[in-house]
Amino acid sequence: MKIYSVYNIKGGVGKTTTAVNLAYMSAASGARTMIWDLDPQGGTSYYLCVKPKVKGGAKGLIQQKSQFENLLKMTGYPNLDLLPADISYRNMDHYLEKESRPTNGLHRILQPLKNSYDNVFLDCPPGLTTITENVFKISDVLLVPLIPTPLSLRAYNRLVQFLVKRRTKKLQVVPFFNMVNINKPIHRIVTKNVHQKHPIFLRSSIPESTIIEAMGIKRSPIFTYARESAEATAFQDLWKEVSQREKGHKRKKKAL
Ligand SMILES: Nc1ncnc2c1ncn2[C@@H]1O[C@H](COP(=O)(O)OP(=O)(O)OP(=O)(O)O)[C@@H](O)[C@H]1O
Ligand SMILES: [Mg+2]
């Protein structure tokens, strides 16, 4: 089971949009895929038309009084299951902190599922809290969408410094740009220069587009209503590059 988390300390940068589209592509390729909406806003649950209701709430989940498997919902898309979020998730940090090992809670919950799914996507809330510390510990890949501005890069640098201190060795950090508008000089400058200083950034990026924004009205992944669009291709290219980078990462690890 591979865990991909979509995270940024900042809000409104496209975490949910990315998580939903990548999870859809993973499932469509035949991989057994689960997406866990970790955000009390419930954006993923909304996009996938699943009721934001979790029996027993965050407390039941963290204290493992509720069986994770029983809370999973089918999305209607083959191979794609969802664990929705409801408003009780606002207290998830509180319940994690009550545990004897607060940063191990998500690991404990997901461990029994390790043979049930090939790919798990975590749609993370913004901020840097106990949930996110859990996410850093259990993820294989941390996808970080950023809007191309100097302030976003500054926040990204802070995140990297934090992760270096935490020595999250296993974690592969994969930043990329979302909502790119080449008509904005600042976007052009930042996207053009980023690879000199940060070669780790993906070459693929996602444009700012009303077709992508329309997910909020269609309540479905972009591939269901604009399969042939340049925007759908952008997500496909992004997913391809993430997969290629992982293969490279595996080869490097083997060679060590
Ligand atoms: N490439 C894009 N082009 C246009 N609009 C986009 C794009 N990506 C995301 N959006 C829009 O921006 C808004 C925020 O996106 P999204 O909910 O994915 O961000 P988020 O990082 O998950 O936000 P939050 O931190 O609140 O969870 C949504 O209205 C979404 O439709
Ligand atoms: Mg979100």
3-state secondary structure 169-216: CCCEEEEEECCECCCCHHHHHHHHHHHHHCCCCCCCCCECCHHHHCHH
Ligand 1 pocket member 11 (CB < 6 A): yes
Ligand 1 pocket member 78 (CB < 6 A): no
Query: Is residue 20 within 8 Å of residue 215, measured between CB atoms?
Result: yes
* Model pLDDT for residues 203-250, shown as the tens digit of each residue: 999 999 999 999 999 999 999 999 999 999 999 999 999 999 988 877
Structure tokens at 100: 């004897």
Q: What distance in angstroms lies between residue 11's CA and the mean position of ligand 2's atoms?
A: 7
Ligand 1 pocket member 230 (CB < 6 A): no
Q: Mean pLDDT in each 10-residue stretch from start to end of the chain (256 residues)?
A: 97 98 98 98 97 95 92 97 97 97 96 96 97 96 97 95 84 97 97 95 98 98 98 98 88 69
- The domain segmentation of the chain, as residue ranges, is 2-255
Residue type, 46: Y
Q: Whose CA is nearest to atom 9 of ligand 1?
A: 14
Exposure pattern of 199-215 as b/e (b: 16+ CB <10 Å)? ebbbebbbbbbeebeeb
CA angle 171, 176, 179 (to 5 degrees): 145
CB under 5 Å of ion ligand 2: residues? 15-16, 43
Q: What distance in angstroms lies between residue 207's CA and the mean position of ligand 1's atoms?
A: 12
Ligand 1 pocket member 181 (CB < 6 A): no
> What pLDDT does residue 168 have?
72
* Model pLDDT for residues 62-78, shown as the tens digit of each residue: 999 998 999 999 999 99
Q: What distance in angstroms lies between residue 18's CA and the mean position of ligand 2's atoms?
A: 9
| C-alpha–C-alpha distance, residues 6 and 23, integer Å | 11
> What pLDDT does residue 256 have?
62
Contacts of 30 (CB under 8 A, 6+ apart): 79
> What pLDDT does residue 249 have?
75
CA distances from 177 to 156, 170, 195, 201, 203 (A): 11, 23, 12, 8, 9
| CATH architecture of residue range(s) 2-255 | 3-Layer(aba) Sandwich (3.40)
| C-alpha–C-alpha distance, residues 121 and 87, integer Å | 20
Nearest atom in ligand 1 to the alpha carbon of residue 210 is: 4
